Amino acid sequence: MKGLVKYVVSSMVFVHFAQVDKPVDLDYFDLREGLENTLIVTDNEIKQVAAVVKEFENVPLIRVDGSEINQAVLNLVLNAVDAIRLKDHRGVIHVKTFTDDDQVCF
């Protein structure tokens, strides 16, 4: 599965670089939903090495390219899984949403 995920991620990166001139499609995005979906997609990788702790505050929708956020979160989660694999014990991946002044953060 890890090889397949890396292949898909590599393919997505290639497509992204190939479409540099493509206009950005901004829409309202539910960050919590995007994080949940990414954790579902990566569940098989995560459950082998770590527990997940979710701390989701209510945050407003944000106007972004949701696919870019999902891709960034996917990369962060897979990097965390790879780092935890290097340890001798199970790890914990913390995922948190919050607001800081007028910024939505994760």
Asked if pLDDT for residue 53 goes beyond 80, the answer is yes
For the whole prediction, is pTM greater than 0.95? no
- pLDDT category of residue 21 using cuts at 50, 70 and 90: low
Of 74, 102, 105, 60, the closest CA to residue 5 belongs to 74
- pLDDT category of residue 7 using cuts at 50, 70 and 90: very low
Residue 63 contacts by C-beta under 8 Å, 6 or more apart in sequence? 26, 27, 28, 29
Give how far Cα 4 sits from Cα of 7, 12, 63, 70, Å.
5, 12, 31, 18
The pLDDT, as a whole number, for residue 77 is 95
Which residue ranges make up each domain of the chain? 23-105
Domain 23-105 adopts which CATH fold? Answer: Heat Shock Protein 90 (3.30.565)
The pLDDT, as a whole number, for residue 15 is 52
Q: Render the burial of 24-47: b for 16+ CB within 10 Å, e for the rest.
A: eeeeebebbebbeebbebbeebbe
